[in-house]
Structure 1
Amino acid sequence: MNNQIDSLIMTVMADKQGPGGAFMVAQKGKIIYQKAFGKANLELGNNLTTESVFQLGSMTKQFTAVAVLLLEQQGKLKVSDHISKYIPDYPGGDKITIHHLLTHTSGVKDFTKMKALAEIAQKEMTPKMMVDFFKDEPVDFAPGERFEYNNSGYVLLGYMIEQVSGEVYADFIRQHIFVPLGMEHSYYASDRQVIYNRAYGYQKKEHGYVNKTAISFSVPFASGALMSTLGDLLKWQNALSQNKLLNANETTKAFSRYKLNNGEPVNYGYGWHIKELSGLTVRAHGGSIFGFKSMGIYVPGEDIYVVALTNCDCNSPTLLAENITKLIITGTVKSK
């Protein structure tokens, strides 16, 4: 099966001298496949390895959602709370709940769709400055009326984590998630900090590869600013499966499908898409940030976890991760 996975990956990662990706398949908490393809740094010619540190983009939302549930578990908030309880001056905050933010059903304007984003993309922003940036924009719909993927909601969640815990978001994630789980190669992203085994991000233009567009990580913040490795993400998934961080009740909340006001189902829990793949329910989430794309898929029924991390936003790992998952599912089902 390893050869089949290799050939699936090599059809997408054909350029061995270009940026590439790192891939992992785990079953029952143990790695059954792990390999890296392509270069970590084109200037130096360094190869990517299975220990390379990648930016996760929106896979960050999993960590933000679990941080919120940790605070609920500690009795410091409830997901049914209105956001006005924590941000009193937020327009319409008495109608928007934390649940709405977690499930992308708040109707708040997504800051990534605002034309003014270019003006702040490279500025150092505080969480409050980020919230102020989009809070007066007209809402797209009333809370609970629709599902529309939304980065602003997770910026608001990061801000509330700080308000409730009294800790900076990056410190909260490190102290309450990374440190307890031994995720020693996971970070709040930085272009200045020396990060060993860093994968450098690239974009592809007509004339070839270029270094990624620089942004201030204070802009994506709790919606997309974390970095990690294959090995650390396996520690993360195992901790979720074994209720090491969250109790069974809070874990169920993270992975439940919710409904809109009209009763229509939403295929999203708290920080994960909940969908079907080869007839099985899976929990999946990807990420995209300048120079990087990521995808993680977990199949609870088979305890299979597939992760694909790439260091060029020209290589989308979504379909690749799904095809690898289908291959493993088919093999697993056959072997039973």
Structure 2
Amino acid sequence: MGKLVGATGLGSLTGGVLLGEAGRAAPYPPPPPSLPATWTTTGTSVSALASFDDAMLTFMKARYIAGGQLAVTYKGRLVLARGYSCDRLTPVPVQPTSTFRVASLSKSVTAAAVAKLAQDGKVTLGTPVTALLDFIPPTGQSVDVRLQKTTLWRLLQHTGGWDRAASLDPLWSDQKISAALGVPMELTADDVIRYMAGRPLDFTPATRVAYSNYGYLLAAKVVEAVSGQTYGDYVNQQLLAPLGITRMKLGGSIAPFPDEVSYRSQYTGTTVLNMSGATVPAPYGTFSMRLQEGNGRWIASAVDLVRWASAFDAPGTVFNSTTLGRVWAAPGDGIGVNDSGWYYGLGWQVRPVTTGGTGRNTWHVGSMPGTHSLLVRTYNGMSWAALFNQRDDASGLSYGDIDSMLWTAAGKVSSWPTHNFYSKYFG
């Protein structure tokens, strides 16, 4: 296969983070020697791809992760689909079709929805968001005039003017917004937009890149305003159904779907789903999945995610060549590629490959309490999605290590199989 060039290089742009986690519970201990954990692997074993199983299990055991999932494609074929579970922590083994919260991998879906509306002539990406949505601030406050420079392009490429590192991430600031507006929790998207409408931007749009979950909440509202449908209905009808994807859903804050995994965290916190002040497990109520719409609300299986990723390989039933060119375009306005050699396109991080190959590696990471996810498309025809039902433990080991571990696993494959499991998982 040759040398793998240009690993994703995960770093500064990751998914949502829980600010101010509190009430740390006992750390996850390893099982006592007298009661060793056993691990269950589901899905079809593929001996030629054993390096991927080894990587996943090594990663999970070191961090004592209860459940994980992996799907791998090669040259458009689904060659591996596996679930991994620790019997001491997961009463129901993870299947290849079990669904997980995917967190910020959702951004590729939202950006694609806006791009599809542009493809169909319903909107242009140069349209200011102020021409499509109403921004009505609280009494006595005013809208920053610079917001008129925030186009859909800039919204989706994180150059819209908001910097969660400089001020706050409003999708994770429920108590503060509730108190400021005098409205009860659980907040609505309209509550967040009203609150933010009265705040100054953190920087002039189009002058730099700063990751903004809020920008993707606005993008989801744009989809609704332009299409006349709910965000979920539009995505399902226009993007997922043509690909045969039926398991992906908008997730909830508490009750999982029947095929959805349970989420683990060593943290607790105060619920934002009501005004009770109750202490709850971090994955179940310390953040509102309703507010994550557009940014991080989708649940999916790994096989769904690589199927979704395949829509970006070439013009097809969903996207034409013009749209794909827009998805992979670097930010304009003189921003371009950053010092690390990658940039943020429309819902994807993009690293051009110019040594040992041509094309690009594209990826995204997702992270929220109880969830860590990774979706990668490589320049040489591979893709993989890895999902986990926790993002914290007592090991002190980085969850970002899964990126290099899966690249290493791919490099150990001497002969890629010719089978295709897609028909097994999609009707």
- The normalised TM-score by structure 2 is 0.69
After superposition, the Cα gap between the structure-2 partners of 1:115 and 1:32, relative to the gap in structure 1 and judged at 3 Å, is closer
Matched to 1:225, the amino acid is R
Shift of 1:239: 2.3
Q: Deviations over 1:58-81 (max 9, x none)?
A: 000000000001110111111111
Partner in structure 1 of residue 350 of structure 2: 274
Partner in structure 1 of residue 93 of structure 2: 47
| Structure 2 residue 194 is the aligned partner of structure 1 residue 129 | no
- Following superposition of structure 1 onto structure 2, how do residues 216-255 of structure 1 map, counting pairs within 5 Å? 216-243=288-315, 244-255=317-328
Shift of 1:56: 0.7
After superposition, the Cα gap between the structure-2 partners of 1:155 and 1:114, relative to the gap in structure 1 and judged at 3 Å, is closer
Shift of 1:235: 2.0
Higher share of residues assigned helix: 1
Shift of 1:317: 5.0
Contact 2:65 2:388 in 1 (8 A): no
Shift of 1:135: 2.6
After superposition, the Cα gap between the structure-2 partners of 1:57 and 1:262, relative to the gap in structure 1 and judged at 3 Å, is closer
Q: Deviations over 1:176-217 (max 9, x none)?
A: 1222222111101125666232111111359xxx67242321
- Following superposition of structure 1 onto structure 2, how do residues 1-336 of structure 1 map, counting pairs within 5 Å? 1-14=48-61, 19-39=66-86, 42=89, 45-89=91-135, 91=144, 92-110=146-164, 112=169, 116-119=173-176, 123-191=185-253, 195-204=257-266, 212-214=283-285, 215-243=287-315, 244-261=317-334, 265=338, 267-275=343-351, 281-299=360-378, 301-314=379-392, 318-329=400-411, 331=413
Which deviates more, 131-140 or 225-234? 131-140
CA distance in structure 2 between the aligned counterparts of 1:17 and 1:292, rounded to whole angstroms: 14
Contact 2:174 2:187 in 1 (8 A): no
Higher share of residues assigned strand: 1
- For structure 2, the 5+ residue unaligned runs are 1-47, 136-142, 179-183, 269-280, 418-427
Contact 1:40 1:198 in 2 (8 A): no
CA distance in structure 2 between the aligned counterparts of 1:52 and 1:334, rounded to whole angstroms: 25
- For structure 1, the 5+ residue unaligned runs are none
**Secondary structure at 1:308's aligned position in 2?**
strand
Contact 1:50 1:230 in 2 (8 A): yes
- Percent identity of the aligned residues? 22
Contact 1:41 1:199 in 2 (8 A): no
**Secondary structure at 2:252's aligned position in 1?**
coil
The structure whose Rg is larger is: 2
Contact 2:65 2:389 in 1 (8 A): no
**Secondary structure at 2:303's aligned position in 1?**
helix
Contact 1:40 1:199 in 2 (8 A): no
After superposition, the Cα gap between the structure-2 partners of 1:123 and 1:245, relative to the gap in structure 1 and judged at 3 Å, is farther
Q: Deviations over 1:250-284 (max 9, x none)?
A: 11110122244466656111000012689663100
Contact 2:103 2:298 in 1 (8 A): yes
CA distance in structure 2 between the aligned counterparts of 1:255 and 1:66, rounded to whole angstroms: 11
**Secondary structure at 2:290's aligned position in 1?**
coil
Shift of 1:15: 7.0
**Secondary structure at 1:14's aligned position in 2?**
helix
Contact 1:23 1:308 in 2 (8 A): yes
CA distance in structure 2 between the aligned counterparts of 1:34 and 1:328, rounded to whole angstroms: 15
- The normalised TM-score by structure 1 is 0.87
Which structure would you say has the larger RCO, counting Cα contacts within 8 Å and 6 or more residues apart?
2
